[in-house]
Chain A
Amino acid sequence: MKLVIERRDTSSALLRFSAPMVSIVVALLFAGGLILAAGINPLDAYREILYEAVGSTYGLSETLVKATPLIFAGLGVSLAFRMQIWNIGAEGQIYMGAMGATWVALFSGLENHWLLMITMFCAAFICGGLWAGVAGVLRARWRVNEVIVTLMMNYIAILFVNYLIYGPWRDPQGFNFPLTAQFSEAARFANFFDTRLHSGFFLALFCALLLYLLMERTVWGYQIKVIGSNPQAARYAGMRTGVAIFAVLFLSGAIAGVAGLSEVAGLQYRLQHGISSGYGYTAIIIAWLARRSALGVIIVSLLMGILLVGGDSLQMLWQLPIAFVYAFQGLILFFLLGSDFFIQYRVKLIKGAQGG
């Protein structure tokens, strides 16, 4: 008897659809065992998680709020993935976008709401884009590995924002705490339904639609896919891969940068620590699970929102430790990522096969 793992040539639509479903069920069973071990009925726990996240207008609004930066960052990362470019730097691009938007909000002297909105958007877009664009230039011109560059630039971005909030941008009325001043009303997104749901969410959906059209309905989108799957063929066909690499990384970072705008203008109203609690890294998982599709990014981000918001209830209701909540969320992701493996590979038992 021998265990053989082989790559599938094709995977059926049924398999691609059912594998994630099955893996969620398996994950829930496993996590259920964990919850049971903590002395809680897993069905109660799952009901509470769902109720917390989608059971009320409030819960639903919070889930959408949580999903918003994930959608932006997920779209950015998945765009680069299309071209087999690994943008690990969405976290830093979020910070740079937030920084650009904050600069406009506090120091541009603009007072008109729409003018501010447009300028803040452009600033976040360009800052996030250029930040990722550095990796694009290095990759296109000198073949420097973009994984390392984008990852390392996260630290630079976060520390640079730290420098600003501890130094030149510190609120003069803030008792020397590391915060910028608060944005004026004109520099804030609108809120809806008397909740924290803000325009950023709808902007994220719009962004997803644009990206879908770009990727599926334009020549440029087609080129990206070709360059991604076969760079030699692309070059042979006369495509300018260098320019495309830069453009894709720029756009990828720009969209992540808009997540930063959405967080400062929609929620925080100032630049401070914790603008992003790891959204840029979560976005990598999201892009992977979404199989690089824009609609997939929205769905997975919402699921992630439910998982993160609903996780609160485990702590609030049963006083389960945070480590338990992390373990629960980790298990779900582990099984989801695992299902990906079974879609791409086939595991076979071969009877009486000879070794070697």
Chain B
Amino acid sequence: MKKTMVMALVILLCGFAGPVLAQDKQIKAGFVYVGPVGDAGWTYAHDLGRLEMEKLPFVEPSTYIESVPEGAESARVINGLVRRGHNLILTTSFGYMDATIDVAKRNKDVIFMHCSGYKTAENVGTYFGRMYEPRYLSGIIAGKMTTKNIIGYVAAFPIPEVIRGINAFTLGVRSVNPEAQVRVVWTQTWFDPGVERDAADSLLDVGADVLAMHQDAPATLQAAEARGAYVIGYNSDMRHFAPNAFLTAPVWNWGALYTQLAEAVHNGTWKSEQIWWGVKDGLVGLADIHAKVPDDVKALVQERTAAIVAGTLHPFTGPLKDRDGHQVLGAGETMSDGEMLSMNFFVEGVQGTLSK
């Protein structure tokens, strides 16, 4: 009788000990990439983050699968990673949203993190960065460096993320140069250097002397370098593609997030949430500003960066009007996260098309 009691106690204790042990779990991470790791942009930046995460002692060598088509096809790849024993899976493009949720439903013991989407589940969190903050800061530099007051913007798809970036950039430009216009060309692709190059050239043809871009490849930088214009990169520090034209770039530092994420999963403190980190958290920032940018401009950028970190400056603060002159925010109002995440209008100063 006593023996069975003891046995029961032991079993009970083991039952409790189980999850405690599981909290210190080894992490085997799998990454699903939308482009090739050699794109020098979006996927490259994620891969740098992956490598940084791997340095943690409890993280086993991770796996990545590159150039995975968005949509239903990605479910197979995500499932393949689960089947090969990965317990933390990161899907790094919006188009993987449905597939991530679908695979997660069937694999409750695996943790999924989906970048840039809006669907969560018990074992699926989302993560993204407030890239609009460094976009705004880079806009200040563009606004100061343009002499023709025409700035070109090579943009991928008219989705909220990209629109938010264009608007924040334009607000940065106009905060120092109210005369300047930002002209947008859509490429309808994340990664197609040929198309991106054509779009950049068309903007230079209409007189733009500073280019910015939201693409995964550095083709816009190469176009600016060839034509003697200035350029602002994106994703990663791309200055070696345009040593003379490069001013700065809003960049991702995924390592900051990935290491914390791995620690949370390792410690058992991970919970499903929607992470949206900014400059303050070190996830996004500006690449080193080129020496040719005057010191007073650098000082201004530094000052505003500090204000963003301190929470006293929000790029989307009223009074704010859209392109057609309608008031979006009254004086002193700031935009909510929900409004920013579904943004579908251009602010004053942007020239481009947007379907309603």
Contact = CB atoms under 8 A, between A and B. Distances in A.
B95 interface: yes
Contacts of A267: 72, 75
Contacts of B75: 196, 267
B260 to A, nearest CB: 25
A58 B107 CA distance: 14
A319 B64 contact: yes
A166 B355 contact: yes
A177 B79 contact: no
Interface stretch (B80-88, B278-286, B315-323): B80-88
Contact of B36 (A166, A312, A321): A321
B324 to A, nearest CB: 17
A231 to B, nearest CB: 40
Interface in A274-300: 274-275, 277
A273 interface: yes
Contacts of B355: 163, 166-167
B65 A316 contact: yes
B161 to A, nearest CB: 9
Nearest to B36: A322
A319 B157 CA distance: 30
Contacts of A175: 118, 160, 341-342
A62 interface: yes
A321 B98 CA distance: 25
B216 to A, nearest CB: 14
Contact of B63 (A163, A268, A316): A316
A184 interface: no
Contacts of A166: 158, 355
Contacts of B94: 177
Nearest to B338: A175
Nearest to B81: A316
Given A58-B83, A166-B158, A312-B77, A274 B95 contact: yes
A277 B71 contact: yes
B76 A309 contact: yes
Looking at A263, A275, A319, A323, the one whose CB has the most chain B CB atoms below 10 A away is A319
B65 A273 contact: no
A315 B79 contact: no
B159 A178 contact: yes
A97 B77 CA distance: 26
Nearest to A274: B71
A162 B157 CA distance: 10
Given A163-B355, A309-B76, A176 B95 contact: no
Contacts of B24: none
B341 A273 contact: no
B198 to A, nearest CB: 15
A150 interface: no
Given A62-B76, A196-B75, A272-B95, A316 B158 contact: no
Nearest to B69: A277
A52 B76 CA distance: 11
B65 A315 contact: yes
Nearest to A272: B71
Contacts of B36: 321-323
Contacts, number: 79
Contact of B84 (A309, A316, A323): A316
Interface string A308-320: 0100110111010
B179 interface: no
Given A272-B95, A273-B95, A322-B66, A316 B80 contact: yes
B83 A274 contact: no
Nearest to A276: B71
Nearest to A315: B65
Contacts of A328: none
A58 B79 contact: yes
**A175, A268, A319, A323 interface centre (most CB from chain B within 10 Å):** A175
Contacts of A162: 188
Contact of B356 (A167, A178, A277, A319): A167
Contacts of A313: 80
B344 interface: yes
A125 interface: no
B67 interface: yes
Name which of A62, A166, A269 has the most chain B CB atoms within 10 A of its CB.
A166
A275 B95 CA distance: 11
A268 B66 contact: no
B73 interface: yes
Contacts of B38: 321
A306 B285 CA distance: 44
A124 to B, nearest CB: 16
Interface string A204-218: 000000000000000
B61 to A, nearest CB: 9
Nearest to B30: A316
A177 B342 CA distance: 8
Contacts of A66: 76
Interface string B342-356: 111000000000011
A297 B35 CA distance: 31
B70 interface: yes
Interface in A7-66: 52, 58, 62, 65-66
B209 to A, nearest CB: 30
Contacts of B69: 274, 277
Contacts of A277: 69, 71, 73
Contacts of A167: 355-356
18 contacts: A62-B79, A66-B76, A175-B341, A176-B159, A176-B160, A176-B343, A177-B118, A178-B159, A182-B98, A268-B72, A273-B70, A273-B95, A309-B76, A312-B76, A313-B80, A316-B80, A319-B63, A322-B36
8 tightest A-B CB contacts, nearest first:
A274-B71, A267-B72, A167-B355, A175-B342, A322-B67, A277-B69, A176-B344, A176-B342
Given A272-B70, A274-B73, A322-B66, 12 more contacts: A62-B79, A166-B355, A177-B160, A196-B76, A267-B75, A274-B69, A274-B71, A277-B71, A277-B73, A316-B80, A319-B64, A321-B37
